Amino acid sequence: MANEYQLTTPKFTTMADGTDAVLHITEIVGSAGDGPTVGISGAIHGDENTGSQIIRALWPILVRTPFKGRIKLLPVANSRAFAVNHRFTPVDELNLNRQFPGDPKGCYTDQLAAAIEREFLDQIDIHFDMHSGTDRPTVDYVYILNGEKFSRAFGSRVLYRPKAGIGGTTFSGTTKSVTIDKRGIPAVVVELGGGIIDQTPYVKRGVDGLVNMLKQAEVLDGEPTPPPPQVVVRGIAGIRPSQGGWLETEAPPLGEEIKGGAVLGRVISPYSFDELEVIRNPVENGIMILSHLSRNLVDPGNYGYMVGDLAEAED
């Protein structure tokens, strides 16, 4: 028997062009009995659409497969940024993932954050938030916050246990979303995919990972697949180019180790073909978690590479 579902579009403000600003939330009611309400969100950053693709691919499974409880989908959290493939909200150039819990009387992004709190985060018992590496770099790791069994069940090789939180984000366990912290609900942030490459393998991995987390939550029937050998890092080095041009990567694949001083990539001028910068790994013993997998154009300060620090890593 198919599960019942309904799309709701709660309005939270009116735009200058006369259109309503709304959220698009689909709630699926499981046909297998009572259970928790799980929220799955994507595209809090508008240029990270791999998570939205993963939710799209998960959709037919959720509709056809009996499960317990309810699942709320917010596949595109920041629709105006999503429409123009932009990280920040184009209305006010604010980062939605730093504005929670928001302000219903504030600027557009504050009102959007407050609406997500009220209409989505307030209504769920577990939160899975899907991020990716934008349309240039590719990323592959999962945060461990306050729902470690779910983070591990996603199945990524590298996990990140932050030492301190970043204010204004949706996930829980530090100083972030008032709703989630106040209620203490388990939350997982997945960073997977992105880049100017075929996203099909990442979409499949994302669907498999979400299905496994739903099994871990006893929403879907079946035993969750045990995770592969995993490493947990507590520090990440973000390395950004200081010169603009083509970024040509020499780093090993994501999930592989890299020694200090090794070349991550080189910035090459598209005009003179001169080498403008050699980017090296600053971490003595690291593991790749974000990289450019194709020759991409970058400006100074764009995302270049992220290397997990193995000095304090957990097995």
pLDDT above 90 (res 24)? yes
Nearest 5°: CA angle at 190, between 234 and 223? 105
Rounded-to-integer distance, Cα 145 and Cα 29, Å: 27
Q: What is the DSSP string of the chain?
A: -PPEEEEE--EEEE-TTSPEEE--EEEEE-SS----EEEEEE-SSTT--HHHHHHHHHHHHHHHS--SSEEEEES-S-HHHHHTT-SSBTTTTB-GGGSTT--TTS-HHHHHHHHHHHHTGGG-SEEEEEE--TTS-EEEEEE-SS-HHHHHHT--SEEE--SS--TT-S--SSS--HHHHHHT--EEEEEEE-SSS--HHHHHHHHHHHHHHHHHTTSSSSPPPPP-S-EEES-EEEE--SS-EEEEE-SPPTT-EEETT-EEEEEE-TTT--EEEEEE--SSEEEEEEE--S-EEE-TTS--EEEEEGGG-B-
Report d(CA 96, CA 116) in Å as an integer.
10
Q: What is the pTM (predicted TM-score) of this model?
A: 0.94
Q: What is the pLDDT of residues 96-133, one digit of tens each?
A: 999 999 999 999 999 999 999 999 999 999 999 999 99
Domain annotation for the chain: domains and CATH numbers: 4-216 (3.40.630.10), 235-312 (2.40.50.100)
- Tell me the one-letter amino acid at 244: G
| Gap between the Cα atoms of 289 and 258, Å rounded | 11
**pLDDT, tens only, 190-249:** 999 999 999 999 999 999 999 999 999 999 999 999 999 999 999 999 999 999 999 999
Residue 19 pLDDT exceeds 60: yes
With bands split at pLDDT 50, 70 and 90, how would you rate the model's confidence at 183? confident
Q: Which two tokens stand for residue 119?
A: 């209409």
Using a 10 angstrom Cβ sphere, with 0-12 exposed, 13-18 middle and 19 or more buried, the burial of residue 91 is: middle
Q: Quick check: bond before 252 cis, omega within 30? A: no
The amino acid present at 211, given as its one-letter code, is: V
d(CA 4, CA 12): 26
**What's residue 173's pLDDT?**
40
Predicted confidence (pLDDT) at residue 51 exceeds the cutoff of 50:
yes
